[in-house]
Structure 1
Amino acid sequence: MNTRYADSEPSRAEIDAMTGPILVEFGAPWCGHCQAAQALIAAALSAHPVVCHIKIEDGRGRRLGRSFGVKLWPTLVFLRDGQEVARLVRPDDAGSIGHALARIDAVP
């Protein structure tokens, strides 16, 4: 699990071209909802070590978040081979995160 937000955000084309299971987390380091979700995300990700976790700081003028239609933080976008499979906004339990991770981590 990434604990720090990326210094620069990848382009949407780079995200879409990625292969395998990917979790893109949109949020901000000062966001209380984002901070509260970190333990839940960590717990769920511990059972899915092959999932690539990309943590993106979102906000005004950030194109990647807008391309995904992010409105609230944290927003978790679960991708498999560049295709969105699931999305959670402000998750409040590790079980729902784990369920979404299982959907992208399963062998197609």
Structure 2
Amino acid sequence: MLMNTLYADNEPSRAEIDAMTGPVLLEFGAPWCGHCQAAQALIAAALSPHQAVCHIKIEDGRGRRLGRSFGVKLWPTLIFLRDGQEVTRLVRPDDAESIRRALAQIDAAP
């Protein structure tokens, strides 16, 4: 899957996330967040060879339950899942290489 550039219209439930199979990247943030905007090119560069990874952008904030269920406090927070289980996470990544390493932990692609 290619990188999503838009936040999901409907926030998935925690049960839906937990039931997902395969590699999943959850990206929590907000469209107006400067840190989130700065990370977009890094995420795109790291994600491009990982076509099997399902990338879901979730707008986080007050009243958003999914982010709270994952303990998200700063944006962007990237949560890397394999078969519904968290493998690792990055908070405010500032280089593509750390994202690549995290993606390698959930995906068999190079």
For Structure 1 versus Structure 2, the TM-score category normalised by the shorter chain is: over 0.9
Task: Give the match for residue 53 of structure 1.
Answer: 55
Mapped to 2, the partners of 1:47 and 1:100 lie a distance apart of 13
Identity of aligned residues (%): 87
- Cα displacement (A) at 1:106: 2.5
Q: Distance in 2 between matches of 1:28 and 1:8?
A: 14
Corresponding residue of 1:26: 28
CA distance in 1, matches of 2:44, 2:108: 19
Q: Which residue identity is paired with 1:71?
A: K
Match of 2:67 among 65, 68, 73: 65
Deviation at 1:6, TM superposition (A): 0.5
* Candidates 79, 82, 103, aligned match of 1:80: 82
Unaligned runs of 5+ in 1: none
**Number of equivalenced pairs:** 107
How big is the alpha-carbon RMSD for the aligned residues of Structure 1 and Structure 2? 0.9
Offset, 1:102: 0.4
User: Which residue, 3, 7, 10 being the options, matches 1:8?
Assistant: 10
